[in-house]
């Protein structure tokens, strides 16, 4: 879609969106030129540029989010001293299943998961601060992982 129609759409995008809805699907309006320009901007400049076009976020973010929803996927994180890593799992996965995406031995020897919700972590500013604020909890084998959970898995093999 061209820059002028990406935010509000036009007659053709409306037709495609209507067809997609009839197929229980989704159509996204993306402008390649805007995506190219956004890719070279810093975060603050991106936001300002997108807002000037009537957009809240880059099209790539929408493609990723809607693809995850379509595929029934979500993300959890692991955080160590040196590295933070995002892991993709199916919605409804248990803590042992999530641990198994890291390594099968972790699923087999799962004991517990130390879990902090993403929003609690952001508010606290660090894992230690979240722990001190009582926002980290121990979860067992039946725990259903939530999108954005930050987990440390205890296991023994």
Task: Give per-residue pLDDT as tens, 57-89.
Answer: 999 999 999 999 999 999 999 988 788 999 999
Count of the separate structural domains present in the chain: 2
**pLDDT at 126 (0 to 100):** 86
Torsion, Cα of 35, 38, 39, 42 (10° steps): -170
Give the separation between CA 143 and CA 34, rounded to whole angstroms: 41
- pTM to 2 decimal places: 0.80
Do 61 and 89 belong to one domain?
no
Nearest Cα to Cα of residue 102 among 82, 121, 127, 76: 76
Whether residues 79 and 111 fall in one domain: yes
pLDDT tens figures, 16-73: 999 999 999 999 999 999 999 999 999 999 999 999 999 999 999 999 999 999 999 9
Regarding whether 151 and 116 lie in a shared domain, the answer is: yes
- 99 and 134: one domain? yes
Domain assignment of residue 1, yes or no: no
Same domain for 144 and 95, yes or no, is yes
Cβ-based neighbour number of residue 28 at 10 Å: 16
pLDDT digits (tens, 9 = 90+) for 134-151: 999 999 999 999 999 999
What per-residue confidence (pLDDT) applies to 52?
A: 93
Do residues 30 and 101 both lie within one domain? no
> What range does the domain containing 19 cover?
11-70
Decide which of 35, 52, 70 is a domain's last residue. Answer: 70
Q: Is the residue at 2 inside a domain?
A: no
């Amino acid at each position: 879609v061209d820059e002028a129609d990406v935010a509000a759409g036009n007659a053709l995008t409306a037709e495609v969106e209507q067809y997609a809805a009839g197929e229980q699907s989704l159509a996204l309006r993306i402008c390649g030129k805007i995506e190219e320009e956004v890719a070279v901007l810093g975060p603050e400049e991106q936001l300002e540029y997108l807002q000037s076009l009537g957009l809240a976020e880059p099209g790539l973010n929408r493609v990723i989010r809607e693809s995850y929803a379509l595929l029934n996927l979500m993300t959890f994180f692991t955080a160590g001293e040196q590295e933070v890593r995002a892991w993709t799992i199916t919605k409804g996965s248990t803590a042992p299943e999530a641990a198994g995406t890291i390594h099968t031995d972790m699923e087999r020897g799962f004991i517990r998961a130390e879990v902090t919700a993403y929003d609690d972590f952001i508010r606290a500013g660090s894992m230690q601060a979240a722990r001190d604020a009582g926002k980290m909890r121990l979860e067992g084998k039946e725990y259903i992982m939530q999108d954005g959970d930050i987990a440390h898995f205890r296991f023994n093999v």
